[in-house]
Amino acid sequence: MALIEAIEPSADGHRRLRVLSPATGQAVGEVDVANASDVASAVERAHKAQPDWARTTFRERRAIFERAARHLAENAETFVEVIVSETGKPNEEALSVEVLAACDALQFYAKHAGSILADRNVPVHLMKTKKLKVCYQPLGVVGIITPWNFPFLLSLNPSVQALMAGNAVVLKPSEITPFSGQLVERLLREAGIPEGVFGLVIGDGETGRALVEAGLDKVAFTGSVETGRRVGEACARQLIPCTLELGGKDPMIVCADADIDRAASGAVYGAFANAGQVCVSTERVYVVEEVADEFTRKVVEQTAALRQGPEGETDVGPLIHGPQLDVIERHVADATTRGARILAGGRRNPEFTGLFFEPTVLADVTQDMEIMREETFGPVLPILRVRDEAEAIRLANDSPYGLNANVWTRDKHKGAKLAKSIEAGSAIVNDCMLTYGVAEAPFGGRKASGIGQVNGEIGLRSYCHAQSILIDRFGAKNEFLWFPYTRRKGRLMRRALRWIWGTPLGRWLS
């Protein structure tokens, strides 16, 4: 099941796609695929609109995004309905992780962008005759390309940041979930974003490729490692910056002194929320031997209690993207043929026609299995027993990925120390996945999980060029370092060299 299918082209020659619900297989709607010329027009409109937008004050921009937050909060059900129709995720999941988190992002950046991006006077340590001002200038037009797993939040959040920083945006949402992208466009338009400042192009990889090549000033990409690499190469060729938020294989470390009830519930939530289709899903567990039996038993009990299905009160939704089923089945088959035991689930749910895979727990896994090395992006939790925390850290770091991680212990200081020794862009002690939802927290992967960071001060500033403006303070007729070069200046510089960097007082003052 592909969950999108190509249909008859439109009368004007555009390719068209039909989107199907992964929960029921029913048609959700149809879209035209934007071609290179549509993309070029959207980017051109954005370039034209951006200078006026950059001249608006933070207060004016804030009013628009606060209006959007209010509108979203008041009309949450309409948004949830669209998101659920094309992702199949449980209603409450769409409400919390998409809509609620989006309201928070809108309000946070509306409120704080003005102070985070205000011009700063920075004291200069040596050249006291100069004053330094750092000004955060918008880059121009930012292309935002997003995946299908959180189609609304992952499209809205970077858009708000780029726009609050004074850029124009052209968004290309995933072809699997185009209607959530349309929600973002409608929300911002109705909140009063000026014409051309925010553009939407619907389409697949071809549209994405055209956008990256359309004369952007930055690309903010979220998606797979494979596509991210291509996008990064195209940006490097054009010498434009990009952030690449890519896949992960997040480890969970359970120490002997962990609160096992909390750790087990956290493992089940971390692995099965959004049916395991979160870039920061818990994808592998390393549990210390002493508590492994108790932990595993509790995980299995809770997993068995999870509810699945296309309607009603449920916990675990369907896979959103058809081909993901092959990856999951391949990883589970590789593990079981090499000795892993299935303690729960392990197969496509036979009760439903939709793309439901049963929440699955695997034991007796080894580090060399695909399930421990490659991103699964599905509801599968492999548990590996380790001798001690040192072994857990070694195995956690034995991965090409480094997005997020979580550590469970009653000793929070030890937890933070262990977290620091994991090669991951972020880590959490006694909770999971949360980092992207904490607006102040910089978020971004190491190793194959990406380049650059989004969110928080760092993320917001990454949509700007930090321009240094150095201002002479005293207006002397000439400067010591200017012409003419004389032997006397040489002697003075040599003396200064010896004094400033050669004496304790000089070093202290410098």
Under a CB-based contact definition with an 8 Å cutoff, are residues 159 and 197 in contact?
Answer: no
Q: Active site residue: 93, 175, 185, 245, which one? A: 245
Which of 241, 415, 450, 459 is in the footprint of ligand NAD by CB under 6 A? 450
Nearer to ligand NAD, 363 or 428 (CB): 428
**Residues contacting residue 149 through CB under 8 Å, at least 6 positions apart:** 87, 274, 277, 278, 279, 320, 377
Under a CB-based contact definition with an 8 Å cutoff, are residues 143 and 220 in contact?
Answer: yes
446 binds ligand NAD (CB under 6 A): no
Which of 85, 107, 146, 455 is in the footprint of ligand NAD by CB under 6 A? 146
Is 283 a catalytic site residue? Answer: no
Distance (Å, rounded) from C-alpha 423 to C-alpha 401?
9
CA angle (116 as vertex; 115, 120 as ends), nearest 5: 80
308 binds ligand NAD (CB under 6 A): no
Q: Active site residue: 279, 283, 358, 432, which one? A: 279
Under a CB-based contact definition with an 8 Å cutoff, are residues 250 and 280 in contact?
Answer: yes
Instruction: Provide the CB-side half-sphere exposure for 193 (13 A, CA).
Output: 26
Minimum CB–partner distance for residue 84 and ligand NAD (Å): 18
Which of 15, 112, 209, 373 is in the footprint of ligand NAD by CB under 6 A? 209
Under a CB-based contact definition with an 8 Å cutoff, are residues 270 and 359 in contact?
Answer: no
Among the listed ranges 36-44, 167-175, 328-336, 351-359, the one in contact with ligand NAD (CB under 6 A) is 167-175
Nearer to ligand NAD, 50 or 222 (CB): 222
Minimum CB–partner distance for residue 429 and ligand NAD (Å): 20
Site string for ligand NAD, 259-298 (x = CB under 6 A): --------------------x-------------------
Q: What share of the chain is helix, strand, coil (3-state, %, to 5)?
A: 45, 20, 35
Among the listed ranges 89-97, 100-108, 239-247, 386-394, the one in contact with ligand NAD (CB under 6 A) is 239-247
**Residues contacting residue 137 through CB under 8 Å, at least 6 positions apart:** 166, 464, 465, 466, 467
Touching ligand NAD, residues 360-379 (CB under 6 A): 375, 377
Is 93 a catalytic site residue? Answer: no
Known catalytic residues are 245, 279
Task: State the residues that interact with ligand NAD by CB under 6 A.
Answer: 145-149, 154, 172, 174-175, 204-205, 208-209, 212, 222-224, 227, 230-231, 245-248, 279, 321, 375, 377, 403, 445, 450
